[in-house]
């Protein structure tokens, strides 16, 4: 029953560029769901029938993947992160040009840097959870791509801070040793934690 479903889905997705990844996600989801249903007392046939009924027709599933390649929330996630990143660049430039308003903003950001970092980390967790709940495992590959694209500036910026002395001088008010270490840890936690949060959202939405 499950093998027939997967076989049909593979056939329907034959022209999709992310076919292999989608199929792997479905197989993983089915395995997890089977384990959950076995714990609840379903026998194998009942569990498989329940899952097939829940997933629906492979043709309709494939049509959903072909019909829409962009998801508004995921695009908004990318846009928001890049907006925050370039806003930070603007504030930095304004500060070093001795523009009073940007100087005030800079000082306030330095004072609240730990709070801002924590809020930013929580933002990623929450938005990833919402995306997982809203879009489900069918769109996990999209979320993975969005996370990579969104977080790329973060990783590049962190690398510049670590390896280029000029950047360390510019951002000296922010990057004392303890805070720099915390930033490095959180930056590299963004991707795996966001993926875990997305998966938690998927499970919550099932």
Domain coordinates of the chain in residue numbers? 2-67, 72-205
Q: What is the mean pLDDT of residues 118-137?
A: 83
26/7 Cα distance (integer angstroms)? 12
Residue 157: pLDDT over 70: yes
Express each pLDDT in 159-184 by its tens digit.
888 888 888 888 887 777 788 888 88
- Please answer whether residues 180 and 171 qualify as being in contact, where contact means their C-beta atoms are separated by less than 8 angstroms: no
For position 70, what pLDDT does the model report? Answer: 46
Q: Look at the chain and count its residues.
A: 206
Question: Dihedral angle at the C-alpha atoms of 150, 156, 158, 161, nearest 10 degrees?
Answer: -150
Q: What is the mean pLDDT of residues 125-149?
A: 78
Q: Is 35 exposed, middle or buried (0-12, 13-18, 19+ CB in 10 A)?
A: exposed
Express each pLDDT in 53-110 by its tens digit.
888 888 888 877 765 544 566 777 788 889 998 998 999 999 989 999 999 999 999 8
């Amino acid at each position: 029953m499950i093998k027939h479903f997967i076989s049909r889905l593979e056939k329907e997705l034959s022209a999709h560029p992310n076919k292999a990844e989608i199929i792997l996600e479905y197989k993983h989801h089915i395995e997890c769901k089977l384990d959950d249903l076995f714990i609840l007392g379903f026998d194998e046939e009942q569990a498989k029938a329940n899952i097939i009924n829940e997933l629906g027709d492979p043709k309709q599933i494939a049509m959903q993947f072909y019909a829409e390649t962009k998801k508004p929330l995921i695009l908004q996630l990318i846009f928001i992160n890049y907006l925050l990143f370039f806003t930070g660049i603007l504030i930095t430039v304004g500060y070093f040009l001795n523009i009073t308003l940007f100087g005030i903003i800079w000082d306030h950001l330095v004072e609240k840097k730990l709070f801002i970092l924590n809020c930013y980390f929580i933002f990623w967790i929450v938005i990833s959870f919402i995306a997982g709940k809203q879009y489900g495992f069918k769109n996990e590959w999209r979320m993975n791509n969005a996370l990579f694209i969104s977080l790329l500036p973060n990783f590049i910026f962190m690398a510049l801070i670590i390896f280029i002395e000029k950047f360390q001088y510019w951002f000296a008010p922010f990057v004392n040793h303890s805070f720099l270490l915390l930033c490095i840890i959180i930056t590299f936690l963004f991707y795996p934690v966001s993926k875990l949060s997305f998966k938690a959202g998927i499970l919550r939405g099932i």
